[in-house]
């Protein structure tokens, strides 16, 4: 008590709070009378430093001694940790430790062998020679095994088969550092994808530096919409991840040619480079990868205003060029680039051109006549005004091994150019036309006749130039090689066209006729009846004028081979079609009768079919299906993995809940 009265007001004693844990304990002290000069205030104030109360003695809590150590000392401690698991454990202590651990390079970490040798030297003293000798012998036996284990551990840790993806608000420097430390002893990080948000990005060069220093096994890096990442971060990746094989940069405005140059110089294994919407990346980057990356096989450039003819020319004409895939989209390149591709692209097998406004007919003509695209197998052209009749024919003549062609929004391509291309492209197997409105019925049949026995798949989509005109064609050779036909949303394609297809293509196996309002049973039946190979996939979605007669013929003639049947939106389809399916289809796996006129009776017929093993069935928008179908859906559910009963207003919520409970293996949409 005397110590208490000797209190001189030092703030180290108390900062204004009550000295008693319980206010009632102060009553004996206050009963001493009014001569007491010190009265502890009742109001509690914020205590700035932690204290422990033990009897009458106050002791200040001192921070742990290791926290007082400077970063240099902690660095030396952390780099001597025996393994990745121990480093991960220490990283969980605090953010400071995590960031410090993530700043250690792999070659700065001491191995067990080095640590053991250091401990041996410390134990060796002049007065303990015998103990030292015994210790050394023990260390030799134990150490040799541990060094071998350490070598195996390092080999496992450097495999790099782990993948991580950070999106939106989860993409932060702290998370990147945690991933860098945590994946080290679990196989190594091999693939990292960072997808930022439109708001302020929380990933900076610090996070990428942690990955670079702790993940030398990184092989794939994707950076999307991360405006705060700059050249410094990619410098670190280039220095610490020499095994990098694929780099994807999208919407990274702070990254320039300098960073890509560092990657090209330090990552010789780079095989794929994708750059999109990076305004500061230009010709210098393509020149760098063309000079240093001998294993580069794929390049994709999109919406980069600084990329021009010079960059494309340098990339393709370099001595080390071994490109097989080249994608150029929304660039300001001209005919010069296509001329270089046609001359130097001797290894190119896949080409994609999109939105090349400055490329004219001359560019495609020169590219086709350059005789350098002998290995080209696939080309996709979208919204390029240079694709005309002359340009497309030149491509067909100059690329003898061309097998797949996809043309979208080619406004100046007509029937004459399409037929001339079909004659020139002797190896063509797949042809896709979309939004090519100058293509008509004549061009369509001209392709079927002139492609010989090579064409396997033909697809038309949104081509508004078709008109179902009855025309007397001269005798035409059939196309026995065609296996797949897809005609989607071409309203002018009608019964006459289908009848002609049935005569010309007897070996069809896949038929996709979507949104063809003009076709009826009269036009579809000749096509179905002439398919000699047996149909396996039939889609008639949106063909509102088809009836049960067409479905009945399909399942009777091709029920043994039919695997998928889509009748979505065929409003005139009734239970008769489902009865025919139940009686004739043995291998049907997927059935879609959404927005049709089927009822509970049709579902019952499917459930009673002994040979039917449906896996996916869609009944969406079928208003005549009610709760009465519950037992039949339960029976079908033995094999179902997918059931769609959305917008079935006569099915109650209790029935849906029961289906979800009982059919736990089935994915139910309701």
pLDDT tens by residue, 556-601: 999 999 999 999 999 999 999 999 999 999 999 999 999 999 999 9
The domain boundary, picked from 80, 103, 126, lies at 103
The per-residue pLDDT for 304 is 96
Q: Are residues 595 and 565 in the same domain?
A: yes
Please, which pLDDT band fits residue 11 given cuts at 50, 70 and 90? very low
Please, which pLDDT band fits residue 493 given cuts at 50, 70 and 90? very high
The per-residue pLDDT for 350 is 97
Residue 205 falls within a domain, yes or no? Answer: no
Please, which pLDDT band fits residue 200 given cuts at 50, 70 and 90? low
Residue 631 to residue 604: CA distance in whole angstroms: 9
The per-residue pLDDT for 238 is 94
pLDDT higher than threshold 90 for residue 125 = no
Residue 319 to residue 294: CA distance in whole angstroms: 9
Residue 257 falls within a domain, yes or no? Answer: no
Residue scoring higher pLDDT (471 or 9): 471
Q: Are residues 658 and 571 in the same domain?
A: yes
The domain boundary, picked from 485, 502, 533, lies at 533
CA–chain centroid gap for 249, Å, is: 14
Residue 570 to residue 596: CA distance in whole angstroms: 6
Share of the chain above pLDDT 70, in %: 80
pLDDT higher than threshold 50 for residue 65 = yes
The 10 Å CB-count burial string (b at 16+, else e) for 624-655 is: bbbeebbebbeebbeebeebbbeebeebeeeb
Q: Are residues 577 and 665 in the same domain?
A: yes
Most confident region among 77-91, 132-146, 341-355 by mean pLDDT: 341-355
Tell me which of 10-14, 103-107, 389-393 is least confident: 10-14
Check which CATH number belongs to the domain holding 637 and give it. 3.80.10.10
pLDDT higher than threshold 60 for residue 143 = no
pLDDT higher than threshold 60 for residue 142 = no
pLDDT higher than threshold 90 for residue 368 = yes
Please, which pLDDT band fits residue 31 given cuts at 50, 70 and 90? very low
Tell me which of 437-446, 449-458, 650-659 is least confident: 449-458
The per-residue pLDDT for 112 is 54
- The domain of 452 spans 445-533
Residue 621 falls within a domain, yes or no? Answer: yes
The per-residue pLDDT for 118 is 44
The per-residue pLDDT for 272 is 96
Q: Are residues 540 and 655 in the same domain?
A: yes
Q: Are residues 511 and 606 in the same domain?
A: no
Residue 289 falls within a domain, yes or no? Answer: no
Please, which pLDDT band fits residue 174 given cuts at 50, 70 and 90? confident
Q: Are residues 525 and 639 in the same domain?
A: no
pLDDT higher than threshold 70 for residue 16 = no
The domain boundary, picked from 83, 103, 123, lies at 103
Parallel/antiparallel/unpaired status of strands 220-224 and 246-250? parallel
pLDDT higher than threshold 50 for residue 50 = no
Q: Are residues 455 and 546 in the same domain?
A: no
The per-residue pLDDT for 63 is 58
Q: Are residues 523 and 617 in the same domain?
A: no
- CB atoms closer than 10 angstroms to residue 405: 22
The per-residue pLDDT for 170 is 86
- Please give the average per-residue pLDDT across 198-214, as a whole number: 82
**Model's pTM, two decimal places?**
0.80
Please, which pLDDT band fits residue 296 given cuts at 50, 70 and 90? very high
Half-sphere exposure of 288 (CA within 13 A, CB side): 20
pLDDT higher than threshold 60 for residue 421 = yes
Q: Are residues 602 and 665 in the same domain?
A: yes
- Please give the average per-residue pLDDT across 113-136, as a whole number: 45
The per-residue pLDDT for 292 is 93
The per-residue pLDDT for 144 is 39
pLDDT higher than threshold 50 for residue 308 = yes
Tell me which of 98-107, 146-155, 353-362 is least confident: 146-155
Tell me which of 57-61, 195-199, 317-321, 556-560 is least confident: 57-61
The per-residue pLDDT for 542 is 94
The per-residue pLDDT for 64 is 58
Residue 420 falls within a domain, yes or no? Answer: no
The per-residue pLDDT for 614 is 94
Total structural domains within the chain: 3
Please, which pLDDT band fits residue 44 given cuts at 50, 70 and 90? very low
Rounded-to-10 torsion of CA 504, 509, 513, 514: -160
pLDDT higher than threshold 50 for residue 491 = yes
pLDDT tens across 259-294, in order? 999 999 999 999 999 999 999 999 999 999 999 999
Residue 44 falls within a domain, yes or no? Answer: no
- Please give the average per-residue pLDDT across 346-370, as a whole number: 95
Region label for 326, one of left (φ > 0), alpha (ψ between -120 and 50) or beta (otherwise): beta
Q: Are residues 457 and 494 in the same domain?
A: yes
Residue 521 falls within a domain, yes or no? Answer: yes
Residue 328 falls within a domain, yes or no? Answer: no
The mean pLDDT value of the chain amounts to: 83
Residue 29 to residue 354: CA distance in whole angstroms: 89
Q: Are residues 654 and 547 in the same domain?
A: yes
Please, which pLDDT band fits residue 60 given cuts at 50, 70 and 90? low
CA–chain centroid gap for 364, Å, is: 32
Rg for the chain (alpha carbons), in Å? 37
The per-residue pLDDT for 561 is 95
- Cα 295–298–304 angle (5° rounding)? 120
The per-residue pLDDT for 361 is 95
pLDDT tens across 497-543, in order? 999 999 999 999 999 999 999 899 999 999 999 999 899 999 999 99
Q: Are residues 573 and 460 in the same domain?
A: no
Residue 457 to residue 454: CA distance in whole angstroms: 9
């Amino acid at each position: 008590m005397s110590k208490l009265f000797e209190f001189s007001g030092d703030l180290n004693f108390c900062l204004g709070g009550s000295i008693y844990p319980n206010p009632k304990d102060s009553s004996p002290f206050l009963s001493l009378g009014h001569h007491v000069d010190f009265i502890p205030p009742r109001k509690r104030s914020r205590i700035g430093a932690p204290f422990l109360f033990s009897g009458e003695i106050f002791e200040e809590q001192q921070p742990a001694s290791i926290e007082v150590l400077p970063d240099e000392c902690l660095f030396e401690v952390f780099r001597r940790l025996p393994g990745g698991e121990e480093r991960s454990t220490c990283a969980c202590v605090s953010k400071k430790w995590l960031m410090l651990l993530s700043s250690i390079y792999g070659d700065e970490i001491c191995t067990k062998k080095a640590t053991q040798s250091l401990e041996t030297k410390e134990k060796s003293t002049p007065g303990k020679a015998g103990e030292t000798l015994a210790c050394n012998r023990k260390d030799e036996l134990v150490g040799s095994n541990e060094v071998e284990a350490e070598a195996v551990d390092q080999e496992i840790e450097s495999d790099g088969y782990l993948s991580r993806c950070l999106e939106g608000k989860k993409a932060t420097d702290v998370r990147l550092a945690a991933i860098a430390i945590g994946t080290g002893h679990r196989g190594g990080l091999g693939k990292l994808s960072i997808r930022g948000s439109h708001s302020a990005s929380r990933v900076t060069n610090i996070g990428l530096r942690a990955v670079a220093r702790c993940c030398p096994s990184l092989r794939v890096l994707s950076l999307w919409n991360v405006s705060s990442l700059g050249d410094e971060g990619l410098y670190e990746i280039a220095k610490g991840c020499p095994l990098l094989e694929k780099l994807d940069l999208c919407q990274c405005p702070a990254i320039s040619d300098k960073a890509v140059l560092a990657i090209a110089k330090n990552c010789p294994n780079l095989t794929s480079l994708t750059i999109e919407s990076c305004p500061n990346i230009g010709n210098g980057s393509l020149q760098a990868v063309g000079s240093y990356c001998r294993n580069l096989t794929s390049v994709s450039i999109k919406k980069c205003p600084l990329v021009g003819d010079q960059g494309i020319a340098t990339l393709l004409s370099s001595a080390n060029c071994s490109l097989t895939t080249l994608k150029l989209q929304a660039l300001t390149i001209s005919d010069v680039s296509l001329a270089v591709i046609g001359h130097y692209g001797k290894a190119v097998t896949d080409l994609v051109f999109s939105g090349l406004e400055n490329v004219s007919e001359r560019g495609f003509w020169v590219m086709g006549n350059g005789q350098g695209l002998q290995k080209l197998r696939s080309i996709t052209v979208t919204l390029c005004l240079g694709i005309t009749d002359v340009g497309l024919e030149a491509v067909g003549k100059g690329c003898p091994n061309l097998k797949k062609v996809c043309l979208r929004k080619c406004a100046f391509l007509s029937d004459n150019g399409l037929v001339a291309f079909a004659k020139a492209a002797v190896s063509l197997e797949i042809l896709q036309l979309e939004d090519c409105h100058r293509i008509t019925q004549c061009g369509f049949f001209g392709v079927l006749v002139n492609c010989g026995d090579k064409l396997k798949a033909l697809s038309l989509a949104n081509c508004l130039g078709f008109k179902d005109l009855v025309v007397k064609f001269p005798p035409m050779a059939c196309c026995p090689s065609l296996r797949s036909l897809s005609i989607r949303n071409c309203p002018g394609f009608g019964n006459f066209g289908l009848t002609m297809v049935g005569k010309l293509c007897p070996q069809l196996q896949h038929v996709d006729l979507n949104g063809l309002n003009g076709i009826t049973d009269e036009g579809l039946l000749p096509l179905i009846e002439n398919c000699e190979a047996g149909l396996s996939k039939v889609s008639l979605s949106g063909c509102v004028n088809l009836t049960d007669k067409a479905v009945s013929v399909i399942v009777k003639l091709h029920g043994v081979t039919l695997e998928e049947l889509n009748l979505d939106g065929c409003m005139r389809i009734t239970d008769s079609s489902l009865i025919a399916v139940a009686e004739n289809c043995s291998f049907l796996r997927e059935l879609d009768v959404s927005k049709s006129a089927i009822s509970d009776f049709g579902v019952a017929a499917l459930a009673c079919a002994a040979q039917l093993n449906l896996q996916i069935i869609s009944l969406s928008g079928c208003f005549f299906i009610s709760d009465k179908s519950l037992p039949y859906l339960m029976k079908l559910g033995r094999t179902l993995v997918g059931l769609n009963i959305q917008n079935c207003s006569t099915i109650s919520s209790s029935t849906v809940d029961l289906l979800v409970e009982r059919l736990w293996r089935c994915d139910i949409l309701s």
